[in-house]
Every structure is written in C-alpha cells, then in structure tokens.
Amino acid sequence: MNALLERLYGLLLTFKEYVILSFLVVVSLVLLALNDTVQVQRLRSIATVVLGLTQEQLSFIPRYFGLIEENELLRRTNIELADEASRLREAKLENLRLRQLLGLKQQSTYQLVAARIVSKNLTLLRNTITLNVGTNDGIRPSMPVLSDAGLVGVVVAVNQGYSVAHLLLNVDFRASAKVQRSRVDGIVAWDGTSLQLTNIAKTLDVKVGDVIITSEYSSTYPPGMRIGTVKEVKEQPATLFKIVTIEPSVDFVRLEEVFVMTAVPDRDKIELEAQVGQRR
Amino acid sequence: MQFYLRSALVVLGLLVLQTTFIQWMELGGVVPDILFVWLMYIAITRGQIDATVAGFTVGLLQDLATTQFFGLAALAKTVSGFVGGYFYNENKTEIMLGTYRFVLVTMICSVVHNLIYFGIFFQGIDGGVLVPLLRYTMTTTLYTGAVSALPMFAFFRKYLTA
C-alpha cells in the first residue's frame, strides 16, 4: 500500500506542472458553469463596488484632459437647448390648450435619476456601462437608461451604490421600435458591427434619414424615445426582409452622464400576455 | 515573500490601468492586455508552475473586474501561462526579455489565450463564431504584441547594454 502511495506521489511530483494545470483548468470550468449562482453574483457585486470606487477616484483625469473640448461642446449645446426650450415652451402651452379642449388627462411623467458613468466597457459585442447609482437611489433592473440624445440602454444588474447597464451596442440588447414617419414596426438589435432594425419586410416603407423611436409594444421602454436614424437600407437577396442599418443618436464614445428612467416594466401587461400565451 | 508582495502590488496596479486608462488606447474596439504581458514576464523569469498559477490568479481578478463570464479569463490565462512556461530557460532569461523573442513569445501565447477566450466569449452570437474569433484573436494579439515591445526595450537597456 505504502509502495503504491509512494509511486503515486512520485508520479504527481514528476508531472506536477500538468497536475496543477489540470486542477486550475477544472476550477476555471467549474466557475464558468457557476456563473449565475448567488455566491458568484455577490462576489462580483463586491468587486464592482471596489472597482467603481477606484474608477470614480481616477475618473477626474480623463475629464481634465477633455475639459476644453467638453467646455466648447457644452456651450454649443447650451445655445441649442436654449433655442429648443423656447420652442418647447410654446409647444407645451399649445399642448395644454389642446388637452383642455379634448378633456384628456395629463400624461404621467417619469422620474429621472441622474447618473455618472464610472466605467465603460467597449469590447464591441457585449458593451456595458457602470453607473454610480444603485438600489439606494431607487434603481432596479430593467430600467431604461437615456441621455439627452436618446436611448442609451437598460439596467441589468444593481447593487447598493452601483448599477451595470447594457448599451444599445450589445448583442444581448433588444428593443421594440418603429419608424416615426411611416409607423413601421421592428426590433432593434446589434449584430456586433452595426445597429439594425430587423423584421422589416421588403414591401414596407423605410427610407434613409427616417427617425427610429421606441414603440408602444415594448414592456421595458416608454414609447417615443429616440433610438437613432436610418443610415442605410439594403435589399437582402433570397429573403423577404430588408437590412435596415441605424445610426444611434447617442455618441457612446463621449457619453459621460446619463439618466435612469425609474419606470419598471408594466407587470400587468406582461402577466396578461403570458396568460394568453399559455392558453394558446 | 518579498517577490509575492511586489507581484501583488504590480498586478493590482496593472488591473486598475487595464480597467481604466487602457480604454484610451482602444483601436477599433480592441485594447491591449497589459496583464498578459506581465504574465509572459513571469513565464520567462519564473517558469511553468508560477506562470500557470499567476495566470489563474490574474485571470480571476480580471473576471471579477469585468461584467463578462466569470472564470473565462482565468481559464485562458491559466493555459497561456502554462504554454508561456515552455519558453523558460534559466540561463537565457535576460536574452529572452531584452530581445524580439519576448514579443514573439507574447504573441504566440496571446494567440492561445485569445482563441480560448474569444472562442467561448462569442458562443451563441448571430452570424457564426469563426469570423469574429479570428478577427479579434489576430487584432488583440498584434496589439498586445506591439505593447510588449515597450518592456522589451526597457529590459534591453537594463540587461543588454551594460
């Protein structure tokens, strides 16, 4: 027995490099398999807090370098916004008058929580951002993230002080959308290289320059949020669909501050649709 | 003991760099992996066992710092650290570090690393895995290889110009 053990020990010692490699590979594979467990999520949550704090402390450096450019951009935006605000004021007054005439109830407005991006992950396929707001600020998963330019993404993970959001430029992101001009419906998705409006039959009316907005069919995003404009429309040979490429309204490279819309998905609608789906 | 403490500090510093400032160096969505360059330094100076363990540890930290698949970087870096260890030669460490061989070793092991990493990372995407896998493997390898030339020049000055 002892001789066998000694021989086994000798073998382990001879091939220790391979033994260590095999052990660590197995541990890595087990960790990969346990990706969605609570323990791993908690570990990542702690790491996100630590990293978020570090990145927040260091985030002044890029802002300092880009200060002149940012200042110029802000001044230009300020002028544009002042002009837009005066036009909106007029439109709001007109809207109020019309609503009173029609006896319509004032549409409820959503509350927006301002957030700063403390980390941006731009690996092209699954792009995410980390925001410095979390459950303490009322943030929950599935809340839409937007900027002044339009829809940015959706919150997918939250802890007390930070949240992680999928950007539009993420292969896991989907949003029900429509062409503002022709009311044609489709699904906005990212294929890894470009943002596209999918499920558009060749007979439907979509043109370059059309504005794409979120549709009222979405359970996550309120209708009418700007997503982008149509950059290219191509006929797909041998299929019934067009390839509609969208230029996102949001400049993700320059994006620093965003808003989280504290609107959670309409649970009643989702439950009702699920019930009908089960009956079928 | 002093080596491990120093290594831990270096790794933490590089991890912060990798997750913050390295984003500035992004070219077409590709960033160099400076932790991988450090791993190759360990492989060449310390050998296979140290490189394998260091690869696993650094990969795990990298996994924690990103929102991607937990364990993926650990797996890729463990295997590439092991492969890097084959280039360990106690008598030729300085020549390996201070010449083009360091860049070459980094690039060879980076191909192994990226094939494993992106091979799993791209599973399930629309349009097939092969094209993005090759594209990202090649570009990331070239970029990481180019960045590894900086420490190579430093090692050249330190070891080979005296």
Residue of B nearest to A19 (CA): B49
| Residue A62: burial class (beta carbons within 10 Å; 0-12, 13-18, 19+) | middle
- Strands A144-147, A126-131: pairing is unpaired
Which 8-state DSSP code applies to residue B88?
Answer: -
Q: Are the CB atoms for B116 and B136 separated by under 8 Å?
A: no
CB-based contact, A29 to chain B, within 8 Å: yes
Query: How far is CA A99 from each of CA A95, A179, B15, B104, rounded to the nearest angstrom?
Result: 6, 25, 56, 71
What are the φ and ψ backbone dihedral angles of A193, each rounded to 5 degrees?
-125, -30
Q: What is the pLDDT of residues B136-150, one digit of tens each?
A: 899 999 999 999 999
Per-residue confidence band for B161, with pLDDT thresholds at 50, 70 and 90: confident
What span, in angstroms and rounded, lies between the C-alpha atoms of A96 and A103?
10
**Alpha helices for chain A (secondary structure H):** 2-14, 16-33, 38-58, 60-65, 67-102, 267-279
What span, in angstroms and rounded, lies between the C-alpha atoms of A131 and B140?
27
The encoded tokens of residue A131 equal 């925001």
**Cβ B74–A43 below 8 Å, yes or no?**
no
**Cβ B65–A55 below 8 Å, yes or no?**
no
| Residue A64: burial class (beta carbons within 10 Å; 0-12, 13-18, 19+) | exposed
Chain B residues within 8 A of A20 when measuring between CB atoms: 49, 52-53
Residues 6+ apart with CB under 8 A from B122: A125, B129, B132, B133, B136
Beta bridge partners of A143: none
Query: Which of A19, A50, A123 is most worth mutating to test chain B (most B CB atoms within 10 A of its CB)?
Result: A123
Chain A residues within 8 A of B24 when measuring between CB atoms: 62
Chain B residues within 8 A of A124 when measuring between CB atoms: 29, 136
Mean pLDDT calculated for residue range B75-84:
96
**Alpha helices for A103-229 (secondary structure H):** none
pLDDT of residue B137: 92
What span, in angstroms and rounded, lies between the C-alpha atoms of A175 and A153?
9
pLDDT of residue A244: 93
Residue of A nearest to B28 (CA): A124
**Cβ A55–B20 below 8 Å, yes or no?**
yes
Query: Which of A22, A26, A28 is most worth mutating to test chain B (most B CB atoms within 10 A of its CB)?
Result: A28
- Strands A126-131, A257-261: pairing is unpaired
pLDDT of residue B79: 96
Query: Which of B26, B58, B61, B67 is most worth mutating to test chain A (most A CB atoms within 10 A of its CB)?
Result: B67
pLDDT of residue A33: 87
CB-based contact, A51 to chain B, within 8 Å: yes
Q: Higher pLDDT residue, A62 or B113?
A: B113
Chain B residues within 8 A of A62 when measuring between CB atoms: 24
Low-confidence ranges of chain A (pLDDT < 50): 101, 103-108, 280
What span, in angstroms and rounded, lies between the C-alpha atoms of A214 and A223?
5
**Cβ A35–B26 below 8 Å, yes or no?**
no
Q: Is the pLDDT of residue B107 over 60?
A: yes
pLDDT of residue A62: 60
**Cβ B78–A29 below 8 Å, yes or no?**
no
Q: Higher pLDDT residue, A120 or B67?
A: A120
Best CA proximity match to A155, nearest among A133, A171, A187: A133
pLDDT of residue B129: 80
pLDDT of residue A104: 35
CB-based contact, A55 to chain B, within 8 Å: yes
Chain A residues within 8 A of B132 when measuring between CB atoms: 125, 192
Chain A residues within 8 A of B56 when measuring between CB atoms: 24, 27-28
ipTM (interface pTM): 0.91
CB-based contact, A16 to chain B, within 8 Å: yes
pLDDT of residue A22: 94
Chain B residues within 8 A of A158 when measuring between CB atoms: none
Which 8-state DSSP code applies to residue A169?
Answer: E
What span, in angstroms and rounded, lies between the C-alpha atoms of B51 and B59?
12
Chain A residues within 8 A of B58 when measuring between CB atoms: none
What span, in angstroms and rounded, lies between the C-alpha atoms of A204 and A184?
7
Q: Higher pLDDT residue, A226 or B55?
A: B55
What span, in angstroms and rounded, lies between the C-alpha atoms of A249 and A114?
19
